Chains A and B, each alone.
Chain A
């Protein structure tokens, strides 16, 4: 079962524009992570935001987290053609047994046109 759901499913923008992707989830989380996947490759971790954090920056990436709305957004500023990839949010939750699990959403496919 998917915990995180990204929106939109696909996004096409021009180079230099900003790209915003959203992730909504259903249950309380420990933290939320964003990953990137280039076509035909494995996922690469981009950024992690803890449940007690509201905003985090890393280079051209800005992530926000609103636990009251159970949502997160990933903003990529001044996009480049090389940012073309699929982006996944992943939520970390604690199971009934006390262990933690990471659940991925279905992803947003971003295309940045030169």
Chain B
């Protein structure tokens, strides 16, 4: 049981390049989330999904797109990377529809945009 995994772990992009971050979970969770973490800012929600084929915007969605074609995978895309998107990105998942369920986090992807 690997839990939540993220690919890649590190990436350096040049301004204007595109990339996709992959999140995979093997816990059959319905809900999946993408956050970014910046120094002194805590975690901010980018996009989330409440089930296969559905996505919704979070607090800071601009410049990002997501897809949830399979229940176990949640992809985060950057179409045209900007230096402001330099951050550590975390994926999380949880089960159920109730708020009492904890979120399980992946190890993070450290992205630098030059």
Residues of chain A having any CB pair with chain B under 8 Å: 1-2, 30-31, 33, 40-45, 48, 50, 88, 92, 100-107
Looking at chain A's contact residues, the main secondary structure is strand
Given contacts A42-B108, A44-B105, A92 and B99 within 8 Å (CB-CB): yes
Given contacts A105-B42, A106-B40, A107-B42, A42 and B107 within 8 Å (CB-CB): yes
From residue 70 to 114 of chain B, which have CB atoms closer than 8 A to chain A? 90, 92, 99-100, 102-108
CB contacts (< 8 Å) of B59 on chain A: these are 1
Contact flags B1-26 to A (C-beta < 8 A → 1, else 0): 00010000000000000000000000
- State how many residues of chain B have any CB contact under 8 Å with chain A: 20
**CB pair A43 B42 closer than 8 Å:** no
CB contacts (< 8 Å) of A107 on chain B: these are 42
